[in-house]
Amino acid sequence: MRVLIAEQAFAAYTALLETKAPGLNVFTSDDSAELSRMASDCPVWLGQPDLLASLLRQGHRPQWVQSTWAGITPLLALGLPRDYRLTRAVGIFGQVMAEYVLTYVLGHERKVMTRVVSQVERQWDSRPAASVAGRKALIVGVGDIGRSVAHCLSVLGIEVYGIATAPRDLPPFKEVAALDALPRLVGEVDYVINLLPDTWPTRDLFDAKVFAAFKPEGLFINIGRGSSVVDADLVQALREGHLAGAVIDVCRQEPLPRQHPFWTAWGLLLTGHTAGPTSPPLMADLFLENLTAFEAGQAMRGVVDFDRGY
């Protein structure tokens, strides 16, 4: 099998595949023109969606594409072909995303950011901290990452609630409701964690109306997609005290423009799209598992429905 790797970390993936599957014919380059020449002869592609989308625009047609990202938005752009099988990275981000959420939930309760400010101002900050035990969290998007986050939080005594396309019973969630329940549930929980993909129904979901329904002590964490949030509405809601803080890992435009109000919004922390770094060893294992299924004509993990967008 001839496999094209289009990835910034192409050297790491090449070494892993040569070790784990020495029979593969792997082609890759850091030169875009050379990569394009190789693409026409490779039926299977592995890589990051922005580079893969560029190859599709040039007229190359793979049989199957394995994304190294959980999100595949660049491959859904208008005008790009959809006559191939596309799988996204699944099952490899749960641990690191759960660690990210836990970091900032604990930091919120322990008042880490305000204590840093107190130290800079040489003010002795002896305000008591709170425990997460008995708190409630709403996870908006209950896929494999959402379930990993839910299990991590529930171990610490946090009650977890979820939002999905339709209501369902799904342990350890106390309740999984449909999208129309979002305004109700954000007012009943202490932490709201967005994990939704970038689709038309999820764009601009977190707007002024939703933020106004938050608890004043609430924390909003966005590790889904920036398109889910109306930026100006979040900044205004923080200013007016509708919620206590926000941790934003993903933005509509990245890197964030220097003039964007997120940079100076009080109570908002930017983390530069670092919540879920891809592990090349885990990604290589997923790719090889899917490659075996692809060659056998069997079901693969993470198959994308182009109409749904995920």
pLDDT in tens, 217-257: 999 999 999 999 999 999 999 999 999 999 999 999 999 99
15, pLDDT greater than 90: yes
Give the sheet arrangement for strand 2-6, strand by strand: 25-28, 2-6, 44-47, 64-67, 85-87
Residues recognised as catalytic: 225, 273
pLDDT value for 49: 97
pLDDT value for 225: 94
* DSSP structural state of residue 25: E
What confidence category does residue 68 fall into, taking pLDDT thresholds of 50, 70 and 90? very high
Q: What is the pLDDT of residues 151-182, one digit of tens each?
A: 999 999 999 999 999 999 999 999 999 999 99
What confidence category does residue 78 fall into, taking pLDDT thresholds of 50, 70 and 90? very high
Q: What interhelical angle do 144-155 and 94-109 show, nearest 10?
A: 40
* DSSP structural state of residue 168: B
Query: Average pLDDT in the 30-41 region?
Result: 96
Block residue for tokens 């994308």:
304
**What is the rounded CA–CA span in Å between residue 95 and residue 223?**
14
**What is the rounded CA–CA span in Å between residue 140 and residue 162?**
6
Per the prediction, the chain carries an average pLDDT of 97
Nearest CA-CA partner of 43 in 15, 24, 71: 24
> How does strand 175-178 pair with strand 2-6?
unpaired
pLDDT value for 309: 87
What confidence category does residue 213 fall into, taking pLDDT thresholds of 50, 70 and 90? very high
Element of type H or E holding 45: strand 44-47
Element of type H or E holding 28: strand 25-28
Query: Phi then psi for 32, rounded to 5 degrees?
Result: -65, -35
Q: What is the pLDDT of residues 80-132, one digit of tens each?
A: 999 999 999 999 999 999 999 999 999 999 999 999 999 999 999 999 999 99
- Residues paired with residue 62 on neighbouring β-strands, in sequence order: none
305, pLDDT greater than 90: yes
**What is the rounded CA–CA span in Å between residue 194 and residue 187?**
15
Three-state DSSP at 191 gives: strand
Query: What number of residues does the chain have?
Result: 310
Q: What is the pLDDT of residues 268-291, one digit of tens each?
A: 999 999 999 999 999 999 999 999
Nearby residues of 226 by Cβ (< 8 Å), 6 or more positions away: 248, 250, 251, 252, 253, 254
What confidence category does residue 300 fall into, taking pLDDT thresholds of 50, 70 and 90? very high
* Segment 129-135 long-range contacts (CB within 8 Å, at least 24 positions apart): 132/105, 132/106, 132/156, 132/157, 132/158, 133/157, 133/158, 134/158, 134/159, 135/109, 135/159, 135/189, 135/190, 135/191
